[in-house]
Amino acid sequence: METLDLIVNIAASTLRLATPLILAAMAGLLSLQVGQVNIGLEGMMLAGSFAVVAFGFWLGSTWMGVLAAILVGVALAALFAFVVTRLKANLIVSGLALNLLASGGTAYLLEILFNTSGTFSPTALQSLPNLSLPVLSDLPLVGRLLFNHSPLVYVSWLAIPLTALFLYRTIPGIHIQAIGQNEEAARSVGIPVRRRQYLALMIGGALCGLAGAHLAVGDLALFREDMTAGRGFIALAAVYFAAGRPRLSALACLLFGLFEALQFRLQLASSIPPQFFQMLPYVMVVITLAVISARKEWRKGWS
Amino acid sequence: MSQRIRILTMLTLLLILVVGAGATRAQDSDLSVALIIAQGGLGDRSYNDSAFAGLTLAAQEFGVDVVPIESSDPVGEGEQLLRAAAEAGFDLVITLEFSHFDPLARVAPDYPETLFSIVNIVVEGPNIVSIMFDEHTGSYLAGALSAMVTTDAAVPNTNEDVVLGAIGGVQSSGIDVFLDGYIQGACAINPDISVLVAYSNGFGDPATGRELALAMHESGADVVYQIAGGTGQGVIEAAKDTGFWAVGVDSDQDYLAPGFVLTSMLKRVDIAVYDLIGRLVAGELEGGTVAQYGLAENGVGISDMTYSRHVVPRAYTDRVNELREGIIAGDISVIDTRVISEEQRTAFYSNRTCAGIQDLMSSMGS
């Protein structure tokens, strides 16, 4: 019973930790598929975290804050799309600029709008209420594992099949893949390249806004400077290792969450230096994905 | 290059003048003090603001001219800031920025007439006063209180496990001194207690702090001490949502989640700054010294427990006061793990328990 309890705790922690990563990874893979890799995921998330707290506080509704976070994410993504497609700016530089803008901009706005620095946690702001279903949420272990999370956790689960469906089963999605593979060829057959690029990046902006909102008000109810703490880059790494495939990217994010949840508990149970455990999630994700793609390659070679 | 430094210096001086124009003026002393603000800046409601409060109070009490110096990059501009302040003729230049230890060692010899002061680290020099805090003794009191609370079923938010938790931002001697003081205090009350220790690997990630605190709570910890800056905000939120106790650090964080923060380990930078200026005015401040702020000076201690005192038995806070008196009187010794030998450190950290504390104490011959 106790072991079962521990497993459920670790699994539930995994799902919570993976949520912002999955949302950001879906955004990252859309940008990769359309050939305009956005390393500004981190910045769009952070702006989302700030927006959800600021607007949630002003409007007196956390859900309105979530809407604002999505809009801010979309607006920043549109700015990024404009800069890299119309102005033909370098992708890396533009993405970095986006991150710096978000990091410095949110710290600055915190100062001038709320007269504070570091952390902003208005008491009036509520975190999003956990899902509470009759019967299901009260089930002993399954309820805790599956039916008792913050609402955006479920949004992240939905985002995975929806992203796959969009990319592989809709016309704009197939256009996006074509553009990523060869922009000139796509243009020559009449695909509206720039419109599709804007579309892919702006959907990504919305997803990053949601990811940031989850970080700030999913389980907490506060904004902290640079609270995204590198999650945008971890999500991007997951996307690259999974070669831009939605389900595999999400799996990488879940793995990362799992090993993060594990390392927290391993630190408590052992006197091995904590740095060893802190490194685990990164190492394990690299190893697992390397094995997965190696197996794929072997199969190709055999057949 | 020297041209650029000169321009930078001039700009900084100009800034000082502009800021200084708004500062408190008083006639009864012609001494002047500059306070270089650390990362985080004024308005952090913690370390910098606390020091500034001490500075302001000193200006009112002693009538000295005081000027806070803010920079957008206090780490990178360390040397320029220190030089500019010394050039401007301040009698005492206090820097709150820990990373200034290196530039300070370079700059101070060039201005023998100026007194410098740095917080949280000892820098050698005939005109440098280092300000150090006994974080271990303050944490000891917090640990002792936590250990009494965790076994008392009558106190809300506790469970039957005799387990506490402590979360550090990163593993470094400056953070570990808090953790080790906390463990020592807990073990002094209950040698069978276990204190879970973990590091969040950063100071600005509340989501991680929350998960880590939840993992500790699942393992039986019902009081969790956080020494992790912004990450610690997540620890306090987890305590509030799940129903256990957090212990705050540096400033009084009890108000952040009333009824879920047992107490806060206070580090009174304001008292240190005020005291330092007081000694300057009295002509007693000498360079080449270390000003140690411990329990006796009220430099460290635990908060007034505004939101928790009504549920914590009086006997416990009395016991904490006894321990405090005992430490001040020298009857109780608390080990500062910053100054133990490398072998002692290795031995203790491979067995960071009450038994490990015992071994460490006997290896130190106390």
Mean pLDDT value across residues B54-61: 95
Rounded to the nearest angstrom, the minimum Cα separation between B205 and chain A is 5
CB-nearest to B43 from A116, A225, A278 is A116
**pLDDT tens digits for range A114-145:** 988 888 999 899 999 998 888 888 888 888 89
Instruction: Report residue B237 as tokens.
Output: 């939120």
Range with the lowest mean pLDDT among A216-225, B25-34, B169-178, B337-346?
A: B25-34
Confidence of residue A292 (pLDDT cuts 50, 70, 90): confident
Lowest mean pLDDT, pick from A238-247, B10-19, B187-196, B211-220: B10-19
Distance from CA of B286 to the nearest CA of A (A): 35
Q: Determine which of B199, B203, B359 to mutate to test the interface with A (most A C-beta atoms within 10 Å).
A: B199
B22 — pLDDT class (breaks 50, 70, 90): very low
Average pLDDT over residues B6-34: 61
Q: Do the chains contact at A224 and B230, CB–CB below 8 Å? A: yes
Which residues lie closer than 8 Å to A7 by C-beta, 6 or more apart?
none
**Which residues of A fall within a CB distance of 8 Å from B161?**
none
- Banded pLDDT at B28 (limits 50, 70, 90): low
Nearest to B183 by CA among B314, B312, B360: B360
Least confident of A280-294, B9-23, B148-162, B208-222: B9-23
pLDDT (tens digit per residue) in B139-187: 999 999 999 999 999 999 999 999 999 999 989 888 999 999 999 999 9
Q: Which of A2-6, B113-117, B133-137, B348-352 has the lowest mean pLDDT?
A: A2-6
Average pLDDT estimate for A2-15? 93
pLDDT category of residue B366 using cuts at 50, 70 and 90: low
pLDDT at B12 over 50: yes
Asked if residue B20 has pLDDT above 80, the reply is: no
Q: Which two tokens stand for residue B85?
A: 């302040």
Q: Which of A112, A219, A234, A266 to mutate to test the interface with B (most CBs of B within 10 A)?
A: A219
pLDDT higher than threshold 90 for residue B5: no
pLDDT in tens, B83-93: 999 999 999 99
| Total residue length of chain A | 303
For residue B29, pLDDT over 80 is answered with no
> Could you give the domains of chain B?
3-133+269-293 (3.40.50.2300), 136-266+304-363 (3.40.50.2300)
Please give the mean pLDDT across all residues of chain B.
91
Average of per-residue pLDDT values in chain A:
93
* Residue of A118, A229, A268 lying closest to B216 (CB–CB): A268
B237 interaction partners in chain A (CB closer than 8 Å)? 219-222
B216–A contact, CB cutoff 8 A:
yes
Residues 6 or more apart in contact with residue B183 via CB below 8 angstroms: B143, B166, B195, B197, B352, B353, B354, B357
Most confident of A83-87, A115-119, B199-203: A83-87
Among candidates A17, A227, A273 on the partner chain, residue whose Cβ is nearest the Cβ of B211 = A17
Contact A117 B198 (CB under 8 A): no
pLDDT one-digit tens code per residue, B281-317: 999 999 999 999 999 999 999 999 999 999 999 999 9
Average pLDDT over residues B191-213: 94
Contact of B270 with B59, CB cutoff 8 Å: no
Please state the rounded mean pLDDT for residues A170-194: 96
On the question of pLDDT at A88 being above 50, the answer is yes
- Can you tell me the distance from the alpha carbon of B248 to that of B226, in angstroms, rounded to the nearest whole number? 6
**What pLDDT was estimated at residue B21?**
47
Which region holds residue B43: left if phi is over 0, alpha if psi is between -120 and 50, else beta?
A: left
* pLDDT the model gives residue A2: 81
Element (H, E) at B155: none
pLDDT of residue B73: 85
- Looking at per-residue confidence, does A54 or A279 come out higher? A54
Percent of chain B with pLDDT over 70: 92
A80-84, B25-29, B347-351: segment of lowest average pLDDT: B25-29
What pLDDT band is residue B24 in, cutting at 50, 70 and 90? very low
CB-side neighbour CA atoms (13 Å) of B18: 7
Whole-angstrom distance, CA of residue B168 vs CA of residue A273: 13
* pLDDT mean over A261-274: 88
Average pLDDT over residues B68-80: 90
Q: pTM to 2 decimals?
A: 0.88
On the question of pLDDT at B3 being above 80, the answer is no
Measured between beta carbons, the chain A residues lying within 8 angstroms of B163 are: none
CA distance B12 to B94: 16
| pLDDT value of residue B307 | 96
Most confidently modeled range among A48-62, A124-138, A289-303: A48-62
Q: Which whole-number Å values give the CA distances from A163 to A168, A196, B20, B243, B267, in the listed order?
A: 9, 15, 57, 38, 50
Does B26 score more than 50 pLDDT?
Answer: no
